[in-house]
């Protein structure tokens, strides 16, 4: 086992990266570990042929001045741009326009540009899940699925509540466990790919209030430089996603493609991509910016702390970094 690190962050989602980047900037020694092959968690972009499709978060808001300054290099370079000021809504079988809201920003080369930017100077260990966490004296020891072990004096965890509870169990304060126990995450099935024509959605995306299958359809190509063929990202309704949690990707693709064709007369070109977000959206929030147990030097952050959105995740990580 290598020498103990000062800080290990489990999870390279936006909250974990925001915490790690802030600590790294202040001169701390930080290692970030994620089971995914890339950084970003639910802010994800998949390459499909020449296309880049955002199958997780579709946009972010920049309300807080701290987030504004965090992302300002991306805004200045034009990578992050104002994509929309709100989306029309499909309700009772009709598309209703909606008045201008606050700006929603997207990344020109795919939403994963933001986590890549946050992680550019960080020490990363990707592609292996943390399977066990133990406390030895005043050190944390964590083991990865491939058997490697790492130690650190401070441990920060950026996983959904269920994984946090299963990794840390009784090491978490009882009051935190009680709050985490009731925090649930809704799933979302995402179906996405090139389509044979650009549907008339009356905006760059369409929200669905009461459709049995759809929750959000995004014209993904409207986030890219002009010239990309029309492509859609469809997020299924959380109720439908839960009911079909154990369906196969092929079954989901089939049902969604049929519904898309009957509603808008649009077809995927070839087989669409399918991704199941088992833990997509928190149904509630912790009501605190983060968790921090100073006596154990143990912390946790995530969108489930405040707001269930990109901005909430970034602010949660920032708040946790400030505790250290
Ligand atoms: C379909 C969908 C659409 C969305 N749309 C929007 C939107 O348009 N606007 C918006 O603001 N928000 C949106 N969100 C929410 C937004 O994506 C999240 O709020 C934000 O990305 C959460 O970041 P996080 O760091 O809290 O968690 P995550 O991104 O979930 O990061 C947690 C990380 O922990 C890692 N991990 C978990 N367990 C382990 C383990 N045992 N070992 C190692 N690593 C582990 C995971 O791989 C993951 O990378 C959407 C989410 C989804 C799923």
pLDDT one-digit tens code per residue, 30-64:
999 999 999 999 999 999 999 999 999 999 999 99
Establish whether residue 277 lines the binding site of ligand 1, counting it when its CB lies within 6 angstroms of any ligand atom.
yes
Answer yes or no: is pLDDT of 99 > 90: no
Residue 100 confidence (pLDDT): 72
Q: What is 58-109+184-283's CATH topology?
A: Polyamine Oxidase; Chain A, domain 2 (3.90.660)
Residue 208 confidence (pLDDT): 96
304: Cβ contacts below 8 Å, ≥ 6 apart: 160, 161, 183, 185, 282, 284, 285, 286
Rounded to an integer, what distance in angstroms lies between the CA atom of residue 310 and that of residue 70? 13
Residue 107 confidence (pLDDT): 98
Taking residues 66-84, what's their average pLDDT?
A: 97
Q: Ligand 1 center to residue 246 CA distance, Å?
A: 20
Q: Which of 93-102, 218-227, 290-299, 309-318 has the lowest mean pLDDT?
A: 93-102
Q: What is 1-50+111-182+285-324's CATH topology?
A: FAD/NAD(P)-binding domain (3.50.50)
| 207 and 216 Cβ atoms separated by less than 8 Å | yes
Report the percent of the chain where pLDDT is more than 90.
94
Q: Ligand 1 center to residue 40 CA distance, Å?
A: 7
Strands 5-10 and 149-157: parallel
Taking residues 196-225, what's their average pLDDT?
A: 96
Name, of 88-92, 93-97, 254-258, the range with top average pLDDT. Answer: 254-258
Answer yes or no: is pLDDT of 238 > 90: yes
Establish whether residue 42 lines the binding site of ligand 1, counting it when its CB lies within 6 angstroms of any ligand atom.
yes
Domain with CATH 3.90.660.10 in the chain: 58-109+184-283
Residue 302 in tokens? 């995530």
- Quick one: CA dihedral 222, 223, 226, 227, positive or negative? negative
Residue 216 confidence (pLDDT): 98
Taking residues 89-94, what's their average pLDDT?
A: 92
Q: Ligand 1 center to residue 58 CA distance, Å?
A: 12
pLDDT one-digit tens code per residue, 146-201:
999 999 999 999 999 999 999 999 999 999 999 999 999 999 999 999 999 999 99
Taking residues 212-237, what's their average pLDDT?
A: 96
Establish whether residue 299 lines the binding site of ligand 1, counting it when its CB lies within 6 angstroms of any ligand atom.
no
Strands (E), the chain: 5-10, 30-34, 45-48, 51-54, 80-84, 89-91, 94-96, 104-107, 123-126, 130-136, 139-144, 149-157, 185-194, 205-208, 214-219, 231-236, 273-282, 291-293, 298-300
| 249 and 257 Cβ atoms separated by less than 8 Å | no
Answer yes or no: is pLDDT of 1 > 90: no
Q: What is the mean pLDDT of the chain?
A: 96
Domain with CATH 3.50.50.60 in the chain: 1-50+111-182+285-324
pLDDT bucket at 98, cuts 50 / 70 / 90: confident
Give the chain's end-to-end CA distance (angstroms, integer): 25
């Amino acid at each position: 086992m290598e020498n103990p690190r000062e800080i290990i962050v489990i999870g390279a989602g936006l909250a974990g990266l925001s915490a790690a980047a802030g600590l790294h900037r202040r001169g701390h020694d930080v290692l970030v570990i994620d089971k995914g092959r890339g950084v970003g968690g639910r802010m994800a972009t998949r390459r499909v042929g020449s296309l880049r499709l955002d199958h997780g978060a579709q946009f972010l808001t920049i309300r807080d001045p701290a987030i504004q300054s965090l992302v300002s290099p991306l805004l200045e370079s034009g990578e992050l741009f104002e994509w929309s000021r709100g989306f029309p809504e499909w309700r009772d079988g009709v598309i209703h326009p909606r008045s201008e809201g606050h700006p929603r920003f997207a990344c020109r080369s795919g939403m994963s540009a933001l986590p890549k930017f946050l992680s550019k100077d960080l020490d990363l260990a990707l592609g292996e899940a943390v399977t066990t966490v133990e406390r030895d004296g005043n050190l944390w020891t964590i083991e990865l699925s491939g058997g490697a072990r790492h130690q650190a004096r401070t441990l920060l965890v950026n996983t959904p509540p269920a994984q946090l509870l299963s990794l840390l169990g009784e090491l978490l304060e009882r009051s935190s466990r009680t709050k985490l126990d009731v925090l649930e995450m809704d799933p979302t099935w995402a179906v996405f790919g090139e389509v044979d024509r650009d549907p008339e959605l009356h905006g760059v995306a369409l929200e669905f209030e009461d459709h049995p299958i759809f929750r959000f359809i995004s014209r993904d190509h409207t986030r890219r430089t002009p010239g990309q063929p029309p492509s859609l990202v469809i997020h299924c309704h959380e109720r439908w996603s839960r009911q079909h949690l154990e369906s196969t990707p092929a079954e989901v693709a089939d049902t969604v493609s049929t519904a898309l064709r009957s509603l808008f007369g649009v077809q995927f070109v070839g087989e669409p991509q399918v991704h199941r977000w088992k833990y997509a959206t928190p149904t509630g929030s912790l009501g605190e910016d983060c968790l921090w147990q100073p006596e154990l030097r143990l912390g946790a952050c995530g969108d489930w702390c405040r707001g269930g959105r990109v901005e909430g995740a970034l602010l949660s990580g920032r708040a946790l970094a400030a505790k250290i």
